Structure formats: C-alpha cells, structure tokens
A = this chain, B = another copy of it.
Amino acid sequence: MSSLSVTPLRSIGEVDAGSDLAELIIVAARSEGVDLADRDVLVVTQKVVSKAEDAIEAVDPLDPLSHKPLVEREAVRVLRRRGDLLLTETRHGFVCANAGIDLSNVESGTAALLPEDPDRSARRIRDAVLGRTGVAVGVVVSDTFGRPWRRGVTDVAIGAAGVRPVVDLRGTRDAYGRELQVTEVAVVDEIAAAADLVMGKASGIPVAVLRGLPHEWFADDGERNGVLTDLVRPHSDDLFR
C-alpha cells in the first residue's frame, strides 16, 4: 500500500511583497510536523507567489470592473468575450479568464497579476529550499482556470521546477504488451489538481506537500524543464487558437 499523500500547510500566514516564501514554507512544515524530504513536491498557489513578487496593482475597491483595464493590458489576445468575462491569452501562452487577474484572497483595492515567469518563481523556491535544508523538492505553482466543455474550475500548473511537467510514456507498453497510444501525461496539472483538494478556495491555504510520486518524474538539476516550454501547446499544434 504505497499511497500518495497530499498535506496542506496551514500555518504559512500572511504573505506580502518581499516575503521569503521558501522560508515561510520551511518554517510552516517544521511546525506542522512535515519533515520535507527529497522528491516531495510543494504546490504553491499563484496568489502567494504574486504577492511575494509584488505582482499586485491598485484598483478602485468600489468599482467591481476596475481591474478590466489591467486585463486588457496584460492580455496579448482575446479569444472570446461574454459579458464582463474576457477569455484571454497571456504573454506566457496561458489561455484563461481575465488574463489570470483576480480579486479574491487579496486585500481590498488590489488585484493580483500572474507572476512574470512562474517557472522562474518555482525554481527560486526550489533552489532556496535546497540551499537552506539540503532537500531537493519539486515545486509547482498552481492557478485556477476554467475550461471549455466542462463546468467548474480546476487547478492547473503555471510553473514548475525539479519535476517534469509532461511525462512521456512513449515506448512504454500497456498491460497487454502493446505500445501506448496515449503517451504524454501532464503530471504537473494533475499534481496541482490533487493539491487543490486539500487547499479549499475559501480557507486560503496556499501550499500543499505531495509525497510518493514516481522517482522518474523528477528532473535532474541540470534540466530546465518548465510549464512555459513543455506544457503550453504551440499555436501550430493547437486546434483552438
């Protein structure tokens, strides 16, 4: 019975511009009895990454649409409009509502933008945890996106370090010995989704720790895997851009 465990870190506390996320995570894990180990994966929500990196802009707290100019500025393309909702492509290549900008779980009168380079954000956290504790974790930065055809939102990965965003099963064989048709699994999106199950949108838990993922999903230090390079689908390969 080798289970995967998904553990929320509840004692991270308030995150502000300049907060040291790696240190907050190390301290919270220690105080909650989570002994971080090699190949644990830390899932960190976009919201606290954006706050720590000061990717925050002022908006009029009395105007529910005051963030719309920011959306127009941050989006490189608008795919669809419906009412107040803009379905946009960001400069990272993500397709999401309102250029990923939202107003929940930030202070009144402010809006959180997406991190400038979420893979770099993940790598900074990974490197800081490694430097201070000697433990080589994977890091996934998660955000909450809608999707076509299916109701509801799910958490997906917008940045990753130390863990391969897409695991290629090409060449592996199924239980009947035939080569698999489905070959590339977006494991970082599944990791982000699993973490959201313990976070709770309302409670504002910003970090979860996954333990028990296959060793071969972890990247060597020298590799520069990332969500932007490995997971964003190239336009030429996309039927819906």
With contacts A6-B4, A87-B239 taken as known, whether A181 is within 8 angstroms of B103 at the C-beta atoms is yes
How distant is A2 from chain B, measured CB to nearest CB, in Å? 8
Asked if residues B152 and A189 are in contact (CB atoms below 8 Å), the reply is yes
Asked if residues A104 and B189 are in contact (CB atoms below 8 Å), the reply is no
How distant is A208 from chain B, measured CB to nearest CB, in Å? 9
| Secondary structure class of chain A's binding surface, majority of residues | loop
Segment of A16-24, A128-136, A228-236 in the binding face: A228-236
The verdict on A59 contacting chain B, using a C-beta distance below 8 Å, is no
Give chain A interface residues in 173-224, CB to chain B under 8 Å.
173-176, 178, 180-182, 184-187, 189-191, 193-194, 196-198, 200-204, 210, 212-214
With contacts A151-B231, A189-B193 taken as known, whether A144 is within 8 angstroms of B175 at the C-beta atoms is no
Question: B103, B154, B185: which contacts A178 (Cβ < 8 A)?
Answer: B103
With contacts A4-B6, A6-B6, A169-B201 taken as known, whether A148 is within 8 angstroms of B182 at the C-beta atoms is no
Q: In whole angstroms, how far apart are the Cα atoms of A173 and B104 in the complex? A: 9
The verdict on A238 contacting chain B, using a C-beta distance below 8 Å, is yes
A4: chain B residues at CB < 8 Å are: 5-7, 194, 197-198
A240: chain B residues at CB < 8 Å are: 80, 148-149, 240
How distant is A42 from chain B, measured CB to nearest CB, in Å? 14
* Residues of A that sit less than 8 Å from B by CB: 1-8, 32-34, 79-80, 82, 87, 93-95, 102-108, 144, 147-156, 165-166, 169, 172-176, 178, 180-182, 184-187, 189-191, 193-194, 196-198, 200-204, 210, 212-214, 230-233, 237-241
